[in-house]
Structure 1
């Protein structure tokens, strides 16, 4: 028995009219009878195509503002009937049900309505009912029926018909059914996620996430791992919405690191130039400055060794001076809100350097969910958008104005460093970063040692941390970490506080002449 299924009758009902007329004309030219509904039927008639309204087939008018039009046995029977089952064929004959061999449906634009700020009632009206019901019916019966839910599959459908003399193969229909069920699953996920938010349900009983394939990747974190990149359709500026102007295809690690870099640099408003250099998802240099070129140079000087092969994120459009500086060493990716022509020309000489441009900066205060898979499930939490309501001075000496500005910056950067995190900042630039250690003292010492190495490389008389401030993402449980920072030359400290030995830590800070503030908030990042 052949696996080819003929295509004689199609039902088209779409919200997105892109490519609709061209598809319908191609089907009509192959002798396919066209059924349609509402606005889709009007569009086809205006294009001069012969189309039958579904209401003529069902002998039942569209009603309730279009809510009821395709929910009828003459539609669903035509989609679900098994063509090789005698009882099904007899039921079709008895009830006047004609077969529907192709369903072309894309759903009410619920996701875009919500993204555009639709109110509750408008969002509800954008929930499609008939469309998902038909899609699921056609997909279930893919042994006989083709179902197309994505505009990008129109050309593939026509190519399939050309290759098979107006018929579709079973393998092709299976792939269409897979896409169709993924689409209805993603649609329901979008509705349920929106409704959980609308009702204030922080932990609904069932939680579903969905995405659309943006890119298959050569491999994952390592060459033996397969990988792909999916986007969730949110409008947040960043890696998912960025335009790649040049360079090799992004890898799994590139995407992960570039996202980390851009989220960090987006913490800095563009009224002051800022640069973040990321390596393995951790910042190895972050700085502000009067120009992008100076911000980049200062970030680079925090840890030049780690910056090699890193990711550079900027909070302003890339200019020629900054582009020249970046191209002096090997850099994997540069991401920025824009780039002028001179900068693009400079980068063009570096064919493998990836340049990504975004529609703006990401808002660090925008609420969103962060998801992480674990064996047998996944963890869901709010994105870390926390900002301390106040900085409480707990030492005898209060920070100077300069120290306070650096403390705020160090605290901002620490939020983006893997725990245990220690960040030294001096004059608006990181001068030492300790990340991902099991001991906070080790993070403190590693960051200080890196600053000593850079001071030696730059031929400076002392470590970069001399005269700096230091941030700790969580409290110092003992004075040892704080004293190690003081030995490195730090003069002020910012930390959450809340340890059992806070009094000892404060006393140690006072004895060392340090200023210290408590945030009352920690920034673990695992």
Structure 2
């Protein structure tokens, strides 16, 4: 017959060993005030003792000293037996009494800062020494035996447990189960960070088992559609952008807001000069660079004056009042930039629903990283598309080489092309998009759509001819037939940039020569599905 277990368990003995000592002293004082015996180790014991909190060293509790430079201090039966022993089994209680193992009712452990040690570029050996062994073992033990033990793995757990003990006299089973789930998530994330680091040390980008973890940034009202649930997680890489941004004002971000804002900021980060990217449904509807953000805005907006309504605007410079006035003149869901001056913030503040996000920095478009996409039964992993093409890498294949102005626009268009859904076609002039087509099952339709949009934009602006007249065109992949290039030529382009590599390259080159176009090949494709 098993002794009955109570849902509400008082705390008589606690083991505390924390790397992050936020809230430690207050919690220690609270437990001591409730008559709880506190066991601790190393720096945690010293911090408690220095604050006047009664504490017993684990080595005194176990009768076994810390050895091997502190690598072994809690990996002993007196600790793990006290955590793992089931209070509802007479045989467990008898064995614990036989071996003088005292029950431990609460375990508060946060781990050696392995992730932070790696992030600061520490040596291999320093990283190894910051792999916690005893901590994860105690956490996992306490989580397994959550029926009789509360496990705290984050500083914020101190206040939660303190409030529950104060109100109810102990910890409830529901709370212990929730904390146990959080504990296993923490050790899983910790092990994922270690395994990922080890794989990199071995030069393995794609190891046999790939583990990664996220930290909940915020729950979302719904996903892409109201009937879908969603949440936003950060991955700890601290890449400047949507995951690190501070929201200055506006409504809560939605799933689609986050997805589109990320696309906008990554696009505008491609450029060194002041740039504006206007994004709708994760694809650009206008991108431009100029000497200032106001001019960049005007040129980007001219490309498609209809789609920006309800869209996302990204800038790669500090937003000033002049730029803010332009952006705020239309309904905009989100504005993201590295910063905004006080005048710009005041202008945006008039639009209560507009979300203003400031990141403090720009992401490096050439930095390595990974992207993931779920599929049925698994996921795809790949390196981020950090490919850039310099003018020196281009191969001229037509009778006419591009002019200096055409070359500048070709390189600009190809960078934008990387952020347009395939099959992507970008018309550009004076480092501004003047026609965009993408997401079509064939390239010729994208070319025609981009040309049609340039005509509509010109009409809206009261201009006498389509914006694409005298522009250049970028294609994210090769032209499989000459028809796509011919559609671009009909729209009025003068030069072409594309990867090349089609079986019909000779046919496409001949069509370019016939139309008097200059064409360069990159040898690099930029599919974006």
Counterpart of 1:68 in structure 2 is: 72
Tell me, in whole angstroms, the C-alpha distance in 2 between the residues paired with 1:126 and 1:255: 34
Return the offset for 1:381.
Answer: 0.5
Q: Could you give the per-residue CA deviations for residues 31-52 of structure 1, whole angstroms, max 9, x where no partner exists?
A: 2111111001111111111100
**CA offsets 1:332-391 (integer angstroms, 9 cap, x no match):** 000000010001111111111000000200001111111111110110110011123611
Partner residue of 2:159 out of 144, 148, 155: 155
| Equivalent residue number for residue 176 of structure 1 | 179
Q: Is the aligned partner of 1:510 residue 2:492? A: no
Match of 1:472 in 2: 475
Structure-1 residue corresponding to 2:26: 22
CA distance in 2: counterparts of 1:330 and 1:340, whole angstroms: 21
CA deviations 1:142-163 (Å, max 9, x no partner) are: 0010001011222111111122
The residue number in structure 2 matching 1:36 is 40
**Alignment-derived partner of residue 189 in structure 2:** 186
Q: 1:112 matched to which residue of 2?
A: 116
Gaps of 5+ in 2: none
Tell me how far apart the structure 2 counterparts of residues 336 and 290 of structure 1 sit (CA, whole Å): 17
Please report how far the alpha carbon of residue 113 of structure 1 lies from its aligned counterpart in structure 2 after TM superposition: 1.2
Which of 484, 490, 496 is residue 493 of structure 1 equivalent to?
A: 496
Query: What is the Cα-based RMSD across aligned positions, in Å?
Result: 0.9
In structure 1, distance between residues paired with 2:194 and 2:271: 33
Q: Quote the residue 2:223 is aligned against.
A: 220
Deviation at 1:196, TM superposition (A): 1.0
Moved more, 56-65 or 302-311: 56-65
Q: After TM superposition, where is structure 1 displaced by more than 4 Å over at least 4 residues in a row? A: none
SS, match of residue 150 in structure 1: coil
Instruction: Indicate if the aligned counterparts of 1:115 and 1:235 stay in contact, CA closer than 8 A.
Output: no
In structure 2, which of residues 150, 173, 181 is the aligned counterpart of residue 146 of structure 1?
150
1:50 maps onto 2:54 in alignment = yes
Partner residue of 2:435 out of 432, 437, 447 = 432
Q: Which runs of 5+ in 1 are unaligned?
A: none
- For 2:167 and 2:260, how far apart are their aligned partners in 1? 43
Which residue of 2 is the match for residue 311 of structure 1? 312
| Alpha-carbon offset, residue 284 of structure 1 | 0.5
Partner-residue secondary structure (3-state), 2:303: coil
Q: Which one of the candidate residues 94, 98, 102 is aligned to 1:94?
A: 98
Aligned to 1:205: 208
Q: Which moved more, 1:380-389 or 1:205-214?
A: 380-389
Return the TM-score normalized by structure 2.
0.98
Q: Does the Cα contact within 8 Å between 2:389 and 2:411 map onto a contact in 1?
A: no
- Give, in whole Å, the separation in 1 of the partners of 2:31 and 2:311: 51
Query: Which whole-Å CA distance do the structure 1 matches of 2:497 and 2:118 have between them?
Result: 40
Q: What is the rounded CA distance, in whole Å, between the counterparts of 2:218 and 2:415 in structure 1?
A: 32
**Matched position secondary structure for 2:224:** coil
Structure 1 position 61, deviation (Å): 1.4
Q: CA deviation at 1:438?
A: 0.4
Q: What is the DSSP-based 3-state SS (H/G/I as helix, E as strand, rest coil) of the residue aligned with 1:307?
A: coil
Superposed CA deviations along residues 181-219 of structure 1, whole A, max 9, x for unmatched, are 000001111111111111111221101111011100000
Q: Residue 379 of structure 2 corresponds to which residue in structure 1?
A: 378
Per-residue CA deviation, residues 247-266 of structure 1 (Å, 9 max, x unaligned), is 00000000000001111111
Deviations 1:461-488 (A, max 9, x none): 1110011111000000000000100110
Question: What SS does structure 1 have at the residue aligned with 2:449?
Answer: helix
Query: TM-score, length-normalised on structure 1?
Result: 0.98
Question: What is the SS of the residue equivalent to 2:306?
Answer: helix
Distance 1:507 1:316 in 2: 42
Q: Write out per-residue CA displacement over residues 249-290 of structure 1, whole angstroms, 9 at most, x where no aligned residue.
A: 000000000001111111112xx2100011000011000111
